[in-house]
A and B are shown apart, each in its own frame.
Chain A
């Protein structure tokens, strides 16, 4: 069974959204993701202010652990997306991850457009959940 976990962090690095498939081993996922935050920060700050405009939103493979691959993505408002996938998911290509991030970003934008959503609140939007579920299932079931 392939695992995939998605987390979103606010600019202040507290989680906005956590979702994993399957639901077990969540803690391990969470731990991995939280440690990856350091890497994200490092990448974000490493680019420097001068290149802020050119910094890509997609951070790519943050670092591979023995079991998992961690991908990062940062929006312009410093909201971070982190995806953890099994290393055994070899067929999960980079551009697929990119497209996932893009979809996530779009969905997140939709959530932000909701005036009832206060930035910084955990995301409870059903639509967002639906999209994430669909994405995860699709990713997991592709193999």
Chain B
């Protein structure tokens, strides 16, 4: 063993170290744990350590005597300064720095007070695991402090999970450190905490004593990170800094992500290596992510969220919209995370599994990416704070960070207007949330107001597909509903409504037939009004279309839609006996058609000569009705046969009614009105039916037409629109020869009564007879139809039997094919 000359400092240092290692106080330090730890703390490769022990003679002796120990220490110093290990150099090397031990000793701390300051600053590394120091994600920036040279150096970053080591610290530090620690102990303790955690090595706990100093010594060469540490000199977390945004910005700008995302705390030591490299790259970054302290590492700070929102906007300007998967994929791929991890992040953040990201989901995903880049392990489940808020109204309840984010002044205003479910989770200023809450509340109030919306009669709309104006009209659920419907239909219908109204108002002599189905009245009104087959529009029958067509054909736009009368009057109209309203309506309705109007008004007085042509045109009307479905004659029939099928697809034969009207005086109006109230649909259908039957009659048509004509003639006042009139005129002449063409339908009975009316005058009595005749006709029609029905049923049965027999045969044949 060569003599070892040590300087005074060295002497002192070594002796202290020896004392430290000499637990047994035997002046001989065997290769016990402390020595080994010490040597390990020297951060030298193991072979170097071996070499050192050899050189110093410990291997020879089997233990470290004081001299060997001293030699070893010196050799360590030599090795740490990079000099080759030579025994000769023990003495030759001058000004050798003291050996540095990572798990340093207190004496070193004492010696290097200057380093203490750095250590102090570093000591402010957030306490791992505990809330001693707020552990904002930004804090974890010790990455950058990691000395680039020391890969073996445990991450300087204070690692939160390594909390347990804290407890062990006071104990080891106390004995050795106290005398030598000039700086306050608290930083030391923190430092030790840090050291331990950063070391991640339980063994270190024993040697914690000089950790702080050692660290500082160690960090001495790294001025860069130290300066960064200096920023952390204050225990209190610095306020959130915009530089954090820089990091994100640079992230998106594709700069090395590591340097740009120092915000998050590395969560695990395993990541430390990656982090350290990251940190080293980011050493120059003095970003401090000290968002207000909170324990949940997954919380998004306001600035972070704002940043995320900005990023979201670059992809999707609409904050309530979605980012499609492909765009998100490109965006997050820029973070250079492995695809597998990105895939996992996506799984976590796409809450509704729709392949697109809402703002909330995007923020969560971004946050996870940031965390991952800083070394945090991805959670298995989406943390609560990252869950997209699904309920708008729960904003106030869901905003977790009360105090932390309150100071957030730059809360983006653009977030406020966004009412999407994702936005509520933003930790915006309370007023904004409250405001949005209010907005949501008002919205909900509005939605609740739907109850006050009036009920619309859906029948109206479908009933008039052809009409230009189909507006929902509130329906009063009164007994006169049907009547009202009819009224509505009239209104919404193209024209005929009005003719009906006058018709309705008309037949006073029909008062006794109040029980007649509304269609009757309706038809009567129609016939009275203008002989339109416009009853189509009134009925809520399922055959509005045909009727419509007939109407459109029959009734010119003279009676275009008139503004719907105000609801109040309607109930009155429902009043069965009141013809006055109908009269009103009649007059109003007849405003459009010039003829009908005067005719209607003039109805009571007398029947204009119109009936004649109408009479002749009745058969044509019948024809038309067949095509259009508005048989005026049928209306007559229906009126006379109230008990008949209400919903005949035939329309009232308005021509007949016109004849009626002509003959009938206003006394018939109320009756008609009543009928119309009962059900316009019925009227129309019935009207059409009889007419059809009328038409079907070949030879009978002639008489039918005659009767119809007469009826029409009697109802002259509301002459049919020019077209139908013309048609009737034409058809009349053609009818006689075309009687056979009309068809073999059963309407003989109908024809008969009709024919009985040729001479019907315009007297009221004749109207009565006409009604009775129509009743009779309808009855006959009924019987005929019933007979037909039974025959058809029989035919159907036969066919079914035949089919069954055929199937049986087939079955018999089939089994063979199945084999």
Contacts and interface: CB of A to CB of B under 8 A. Distances in A.
Contacts of B344: 125-126
A127 B380 CA distance: 9
The 10 closest A-B pairs by CB, nearest first: A115-B325, A115-B329, A113-B355, A116-B343, A114-B346, A116-B342, A127-B347, A110-B353, A116-B339, A114-B343
A43 to B, nearest CB: 21
29 contacts: A109-B353, A110-B347, A110-B353, A113-B325, A113-B350, A113-B353, A113-B354, A113-B355, A114-B325, A114-B346, A114-B347, A114-B350, A114-B355, A115-B325, A115-B328, A115-B329, A116-B329, A116-B332, A116-B339, A116-B342, A116-B343, A116-B346, A117-B343, A125-B343, A125-B344, A126-B344, A126-B347, A126-B380, A127-B347
Contacts of B350: 113-114
Interface in B336-378: 339-340, 342-344, 346-347, 350, 353-355
Nearest to A116: B343
Nearest to A130: B380
A49 B353 CA distance: 32
Nearest to A123: B343
Contacts of B340: 124
B25 interface: no
| Interface size of B as a range | 10 to 19
Contacts of A115: 325-326, 328-329, 346, 355
Contacts, number: 36
Nearest to B332: A116
Given A114-B325, A116-B342, 10 more contacts: A109-B353, A114-B350, A114-B355, A115-B328, A115-B329, A116-B329, A116-B332, A116-B343, A117-B343, A127-B347
A127 B353 CA distance: 12
Most chain B CB within 10 A, of A110, A113, A115, A125, is at: A115
A126 B340 CA distance: 10
Contacts of A117: 343
Contacts of A126: 344, 347, 380
Interface in A83-120: 109-110, 113-117
| Interface size of A as a range | 10 to 19
Interface of A: 109-110, 113-117, 124-127
A125 B378 CA distance: 13
Contacts of B339: 116
A102 to B, nearest CB: 15
B152 to A, nearest CB: 33
Interface string B281-305: 0000000000000000000000000
A117 B354 CA distance: 14
B329 A125 contact: no
Given A113-B325, A115-B328, A124 B354 contact: no
A52 to B, nearest CB: 25
A1 B350 CA distance: 37
Contacts of B346: 114-116
A113 B380 CA distance: 19
Nearest to A127: B347
Contacts of A113: 325, 350, 353-355
Contacts of B329: 115-116
A124 B346 CA distance: 13
Interface string B311-327: 00000000000000110
Contacts of A110: 347, 353
Nearest to B354: A113
Contacts of A127: 347
Contacts of A116: 329, 332, 339, 342-343, 346
Contacts of A124: 340, 343
A131 to B, nearest CB: 11
Contacts of A114: 325, 343, 346-347, 350, 355
A111 to B, nearest CB: 8
A98 to B, nearest CB: 22
